[in-house]
Amino acid sequence: MGRTLLYSLTILIGLWFSATACGGLLPDNFAEWPVNFWCWGVFAYIYKNTHQKERIEMITVLAFATPMELFFSEVWNIYEYQRGLMPLFVPAGHYFLFDLGRILAERINQSLALPMLLPFIPMVGYGFYQGSDTSGLILLILVLLFTRFGPQPRLYATMAWAALVMEVVGTQLENWTWANEVPWTGLTAWNPPLLVGAFYCFGDLLVNMTVVRFEEKAPVGVSV
């Protein structure tokens, strides 16, 4: 099974399994555990069998994604998980989505990165005009800036769409719910925000910068 299919099925089935407790077959307090074991098992398998550079990327994603998730959900409270605390499978899931976005981005011509974001513009304009998603304008500007000036424009454009698909699935299943009023800001947001991918773009940029910095200090080969 290729990684694209593995990641896609893991994310989609995992979210359904956790949200519904496998269609009600499991007690709710056990719903997340099979997903936790599966995701971390997949993560460990990839880590064991890949090259050193990807291992650094995997650890870097965890190092950034975990505290960011806890800050967003427990401190800033811009979204809330179904059962309160962040599920244990979430940090591993961040790497799966990052790597999936990277795989998909490689299939896209560089010149299409910015045009891929054009469909977001009228939808963001509608949300801003209506007042139901005023934060969308800020997120759109951020994604456009990442894509125009960042080191991996195809990845950022791809993540804008990949993150939206995952977020739509997760919010429809009620794995998590975004606050309509964004704390501390006076802004509003849809559930999910249309350009929630901006957060993922920022995370991807941090990972890229960290790995590049690490390679400058200690060059990393592709062999194990």
Domain that holds residue 151: 41-217
Band (pLDDT 50/70/90 cuts) for residue 223 is very low
The predicted pLDDT at position 215 comes to 77
- With tokens 């605390």, the residue in question is 85
Above 80 in pLDDT, residue 220?
no
Band (pLDDT 50/70/90 cuts) for residue 218 is low
Band (pLDDT 50/70/90 cuts) for residue 219 is low
User: Residue 71 falls within a domain, yes or no?
Assistant: yes
DSSP assignments along 11-31, one per residue: HHHHHHHHHHHHHHTS-GGGT
Domain count for the chain: 1
Please give the Cα distance from 186 to 151 (Å, whole number). Answer: 32
User: Residue 176 falls within a domain, yes or no?
Assistant: yes
The predicted pLDDT at position 120 comes to 98
User: Residue 93 falls within a domain, yes or no?
Assistant: yes
User: Residue 21 falls within a domain, yes or no?
Assistant: no
Name the residue with higher pLDDT: 32 or 224. 32
Could you read off the pLDDT of 68-109 as tens digits, one per residue? 999 999 999 999 999 999 999 999 999 999 999 999 999 999
CA atoms within 13 A on the CB side of 44: 7
Could you read off the pLDDT of 145-178 as tens digits, one per residue? 999 999 999 999 999 999 999 999 999 999 999 9
User: Residue 13 falls within a domain, yes or no?
Assistant: no
Name the residue with higher pLDDT: 213 or 186. 186
User: Residue 5 falls within a domain, yes or no?
Assistant: no
Q: In the structure encoding, which two tokens stand for residue 144, read together?
A: 């456009």
Average pLDDT, the chain: 95
Could you read off the pLDDT of 205-217 as tens digits, one per residue? 999 999 888 877 7
Above 60 in pLDDT, residue 201?
yes
Count of C-beta atoms within a 10 Å radius of residue 8 = 17
The predicted pLDDT at position 212 comes to 87
CB under 8 A, 24+ apart: contacts of 27-33:
28/83, 31/83, 32/83, 32/87, 32/88, 32/89
Bin 150: left if φ > 0, else alpha if -120 < ψ < 50, else beta.
beta
Above 80 in pLDDT, residue 23?
yes
User: Residue 194 falls within a domain, yes or no?
Assistant: yes
User: Residue 171 falls within a domain, yes or no?
Assistant: yes
pTM: 0.93
Could you read off the pLDDT of 110-144 as tens digits, one per residue? 999 999 999 999 999 999 999 999 999 999 999 99
Please give the Cα distance from 125 to 108 (Å, whole number). Answer: 26
Could you read off the pLDDT of 31-76 as tens digits, one per residue? 999 999 999 999 999 999 999 999 999 999 999 999 999 999 999 9
